[in-house]
Amino acid sequence: MVTGELKNKIDSLWEIFWTGGVTNPLSVIEQMTYLMFIHDLDEVDNRRAREAAMLDLPHRSVFDTKAGRAGELPLRLSSGDTGPGAGRARRADIRQPGR
């Protein structure tokens, strides 16, 4: 059984999806799974970047975009911001499958 802080985080995320219009429980679970995967990928990429910097080796992030394309921004899950609301999904960020 999930209790305490983890349960509160899951409930909060569930509420964000619900208010964003994603009401199918399977869709919510699928989106949470995607978020957990991307979060873990971001953590690994950050660790590899720190290791490469310590060893003075080149590092190409899995989130880097091709250089020279107009209007593109680097893709990152984390911005280093740990303040209130950091990492919180916005309504426009939540997309239902097939839309």
Higher pLDDT, 80 or 7: 7
Residues 6+ apart with CB under 8 A from 74: 61, 63, 64, 65
What pLDDT does 73 receive?
52
What gap in Å lies between CA 71 and CA 11, rounded to an integer? Answer: 36
Q: Is the pLDDT of residue 97 over 60?
A: no
Please tell me the distance from the alpha carbon of residue 52 to that of residue 33, in angstroms, as a whole number. 29
What's the rounded mean pLDDT across residues 3-24? 90
Instruction: Look at 12-16, 39-43, 86-90 and tell me which has the smallest mean pLDDT.
Output: 86-90
Tokens of 82: 């740990």
Contact 19, 88 (CB under 8 A): no
Per the CB < 8 A criterion, the answer to whether 62 and 41 are in contact is: yes
Which pLDDT tens digit goes with each residue over 43-95? 999 999 999 999 999 998 888 876 545 555 555 555 554 444 444 444 444 44
